[in-house]
Each structure stands twice: as structure tokens, then as C-alpha cells.
Structure 1
Amino acid sequence: MAERPATVRPRHRMVDRVSGILEFVARSEGVSLTEISRHVGAPVSSVQGLVNGLVATGYLDERARVYRLGVAPYFLNLLAGRGAVNRILHEDLVALHEKTGSTSAVLSVAVGSDIVYIDHVSDDPHTAYLAERFLRRSLIRTSTGWVLMADWESRDLWAYLETLGDDDRPRVQKLLDELESIRTTDMSVLPNIAEDPDLDGISIAVRERGRVVAAVGVVGRHDELARNRERIVDALRAQARAWDARG
């Protein structure tokens, strides 16, 4: 019996269009919706919905109507065990954990409307489980989440906050009260908004070309962090200067 010829895997126009958008944006320093539309050969009205969906899920990042690649593709690489090179080394978290005497040091990114710990050094099994399984958490309930949200455009931040339930209303009010301070200092210091009121965090932004792309946090018991607040803040700022020096 003759062998059946291999079947070419069929393409899908929508998938082709989405992958084309992602690759085009990834190769750029930032593009407009019109440029994306021209590149994929589709009307702006057709592309707008796709682009909005990609922003909502973290695959694209939009600032002032300019689109860049988001962090979700990087997150998928981590899930597949092929993490991209990052200038925040695991050894940096080890050093922070040792210098601050904290329960945990974590590296976080926003994936859509959630936060994910992508690296950690922790004595706490719960934090270790969240980080090692790359589980999504609520942005509003972590100090690293506050640092990440503070860099969002207002319309995106307001839209996210409006989706939260009554349980998070006090957290929303507290974030709004502290928003300008976080934007000025690139830090969220002891917001006391975790599910467990005894836990807290001190976090600092990680910037790339002026944008906040991640946050590093020191997490532990509120009373211990408060007692060592100045030492922890100094350690985070010193580490941030070291990251900047690496380029």
C-alpha cells in the first residue's frame, strides 16, 4: 500500500493575524494601531478588537496609543521552562533575603490583570508554592502589585479597579491615597493589604526604558518589616541601582 502524503497543517486566518501582530510589535520600539493594521493587511476596525484583546490578556502593552510587546509571552516561556534572560538574577533575591532578614524576596510581573511571582527566595511554603507554580494572584492585594499598577495609564487603572468586589474597596481607597507617593518613589512600603493582616511587603519597581516591567518585593510579618523598614528600603534601593548599572 502506498504511503499517504503528509498533510500540510492548515493555517487559520485569525491565528495568522494575531501572530503577525505579535511578531510585528515585538520587532519594533512601539507602533500605532494604523501601522499594525497596515502590516497585517486588515482594516483598523477589524484589528482594533484583536489588539484590545491582546492588551487585556497581557500580550501587548499600550501606552498613549503606542503598542509594545507585553509580558505574557515571557510568562509562557517560564511555564515551558525556557525563561528569557533577565537582569534580575536569582542571586539578587538571595542577597536581599539575607540582608533584610525577611521571610521572602520575590520578583513579580503583571500578566493581564493578575500578578505572578516569577522567581523567589522564601522560607514560607505558601509563597514558594505560588512562585513555583506561577499561580496568578490579585494585583490589589500585594505591594508588588501596587508598584506595577502605579505605572498604568489612568484609564486602565480605573477600569481594573472598577472590576473589584466589595471586599477590595478598602484596598482600592488606600491605593488611591498612596498612588502619587508610589509613582514618585517607585516604592510601596507596608501597605498592609494582604489577605493575612499579619503579613506585609516593601516593594520597588524594576524599570526598562522608563517603563515599569517588574517589581521586587520583600515579604514577611508586618511587625518585623516595620521594625527593619529603613534597612529594607535602603537594601532595595541599593539593589535597584545595581540593576540599572547592568543595563
Structure 2
Amino acid sequence: MTHEPHRPTSRVLDILETLAQRDGGLTLTELSRSVDAPASSLTPFLRTLCARGYLDCNRKNMVYTLGARTLLLSAAFATTDIYSLTMQEMQRVVDRCSETCQLGIREGSNVFYIAKIDSPEPLRLVSSVGKSLPASCTAIGKALLCDCTRQEVESLYPDGLPALTPSSIRDMDEFCGQLARIHMGEFALDVDESHEHLRCFALPIRLDGQVDAAVSVSMPAFRLDEDKERLVRACLLAARNAVERHLSSAGHGFSGK
């Protein structure tokens, strides 16, 4: 059974999610434009969120940013069983292959990163939890999209596939062909598509047969050889299988869908 979203609740979430993607914050006018809502209708929400500590407002420039109480929500999520167990599996991956491991879910046409364990190597991927990138440009995003039909992919990218680097795939036939192979069990790959000189491997994580999240391993291109690739693939496969067992036991996943 599906339900229509509760509009006031959706508006609060729109505000929080939009500000989460803007490091420097937004003014009321900018926020109004970003969430496509009149400034007058946003003002009561902003006042309440500020009063409760979920937003801060700089009185000098009237820029809104996330408040300290949002940390309570993220801290509570980080202590949930499936998150803790998944982080343990990701740590095993990093311990074995010494490369960065990330967990992501899909938000529309983007991948939203919800967990990361850094490589111990001094040269590694620079990224952070809470950020998002176009799913089509990343291995983890491709894994999240692998069950989508061509029509669904085209509806996600009505203006064509975005590009983050010169190597980002722009051809829809090539992209959908990759998704079909990932759907059949191949690893998702990112070869210089999200960052130049970066290699990334990813697998979808399923709950009740549906893609719920995805896990990836990223590394600089110069550290990838045949032995490292075999190790990374083995680590990812073991982690994916273990996380799927955890989600199945818990009866819920990360995406909330």
C-alpha cells in the first residue's frame, strides 16, 4: 500500500536535506528557490527548526545552516544494529585490501553516501559521508541503478547523462548496457568517471530481491594491479553477502523504501 506524503513533514525534510548538501548554508531566498516553495511559507518551518536547534541562522547575513541537534539524529543512526554490523564488514574490507570502502543509497538520480572507512594509505580518495554525486558517474551509483529499465534511466536523466570528468559515460546505450551486465552479476566499475586517476568497484546490496544500497572500494589507479583487483573483488563479494544476511535478519534496510 502506498500513501501520499504528508506535505508539512516533506517540507521539513526538504529543508534539512537541501542544507545538508550546502556547506556554506543558504539564505531564505536561496532556500526558497532550492526547495521550490514561497519564502513566506518556509518562514514558520525555519523559525521552529531554529528554536529546536536543528538549524542555525547567522544574524549578520541571514544564512541558514544545520544546527547541532542534527548530530543527535546521525549519532542515533550510527548506533543501529545494521549500521554497526555493516561498518564491521566494511572495516574487514579495508583491513584486507587497504583501500577506501563506502556505502551508499540512491536518492533520485544521485548516490548518497551514508558510510565510509578510509584507506590507511596516505594517498586516498577524498570524500565524505553525507555528500551526493550523480549516480551515473560512479561505480556505487551504477550498482544502485542496475535494476532500472532504460525508460526509468531516461526519466532520471531527461537532459542526458551528466559528466564529472572527460571519461564520464554520456552515451545512453553504453550506460544501459553496463547496467544490464551489473544486473546479471558483474561488478560495477568506475574508470576515471567520478574522479580522474581513480578506480572503483561496487556491488548492489539487496533486501527481499530489491536493491537497497551498494558497497564500493576505491583506489588510485597506480595501486591497481591484477592481484589487487582479485583481492578487492573477493573482499567486496564477501562484504556484500554478509551485509545482505544482516539486512535479512533485521527485516529492514538503509533506504527506507
| TM band (smaller chain) | 0.5 to 0.7
1:97-108 to structure 2, matched below 5 A, reads 97-102=94-99, 104-108=100-104
1:40-73 deviations in Å (ceiling 9; x for gaps): xxxxxxxxxxxxxxxxxxxxxxxxxxxxxxxxxx
Listed as ranges, the gaps of 5+ residues in structure 1 are: 1-15, 23-76
Deviation at 1:245, TM superposition (A): 3.4
Name the residue aligned to 2:49: none
Name the residue aligned to 2:92: 95
Distance 1:176 1:79 in 2: 40
Distance 1:142 1:180 in 2: 16
Deviation at 1:170, TM superposition (A): 3.2
Task: Decide whether aligned partners of structure 1 residues 125 and 224 sit closer, same or farther in structure 2, where only a CA change above 3 A counts.
Answer: closer
Contact 1:147 1:205 (C-alpha < 8 Å) held by counterparts: yes
Task: Decide whether aligned partners of structure 1 residues 220 and 241 sit closer, same or farther in structure 2, where only a CA change above 3 A counts.
Answer: same
Matched, 1:161 2:161: no
Name the residue aligned to 2:238: 238
1:110-153 deviations in Å (ceiling 9; x for gaps): 112211110010144722xx21xx02211111100000111224
Task: Decide whether aligned partners of structure 1 residues 213 and 174 sit closer, same or farther in structure 2, where only a CA change above 3 A counts.
Answer: same
Deviation at 1:230, TM superposition (A): 1.4
Name the residue aligned to 1:196: 195
Q: Write the letter of the residue equivalent to 2:98.
A: G
Deviation at 1:165, TM superposition (A): 5.5
Contact 1:114 1:138 (C-alpha < 8 Å) held by counterparts: yes
Deviation at 1:80, TM superposition (A): 3.0
Distance 2:162 2:205 in 1: 31
Distance 1:155 1:183 in 2: 16
Name the residue aligned to 2:213: 214
Deviation at 1:235, TM superposition (A): 1.4
Matched, 1:19 2:3: no
Contact 2:215 2:240 (C-alpha < 8 Å) held by counterparts: no
Task: Decide whether aligned partners of structure 1 residues 169 and 107 sit closer, same or farther in structure 2, where only a CA change above 3 A counts.
Answer: closer
Aligned mate of 1:80, from 66, 73, 80: 73
Q: Partner of 1:229: helix, strand, or coil?
A: helix
Name the residue aligned to 1:38: none
Aligned length in residues: 171
The structure with more helix, counted as a fraction of residues: 1
Task: Decide whether aligned partners of structure 1 residues 184 and 223 sit closer, same or farther in structure 2, where only a CA change above 3 A counts.
Answer: farther
Task: Decide whether aligned partners of structure 1 residues 213 and 243 sit closer, same or farther in structure 2, where only a CA change above 3 A counts.
Answer: same
Distance 2:245 2:5 in 1: 36
Contact 2:137 2:162 (C-alpha < 8 Å) held by counterparts: no
Name the residue aligned to 1:183: 183
1:88-167 to structure 2, matched below 5 A, reads 88-102=85-99, 104-123=100-119, 124=124, 126-127=126-127, 130-131=128-129, 134-164=130-160, 167=163
Q: Write the letter of the residue equivalent to 1:113.
A: S
Distance 1:243 1:166 in 2: 30
Distance 2:147 2:221 in 1: 25
Listed as ranges, the gaps of 5+ residues in structure 2 are: 10-69, 249-257
Give 1 or 2 for the bigger CA radius of gyration.
1
Could you say what the CA RMSD is over the residues aligned between the two structures, in angstroms?
Answer: 2.9
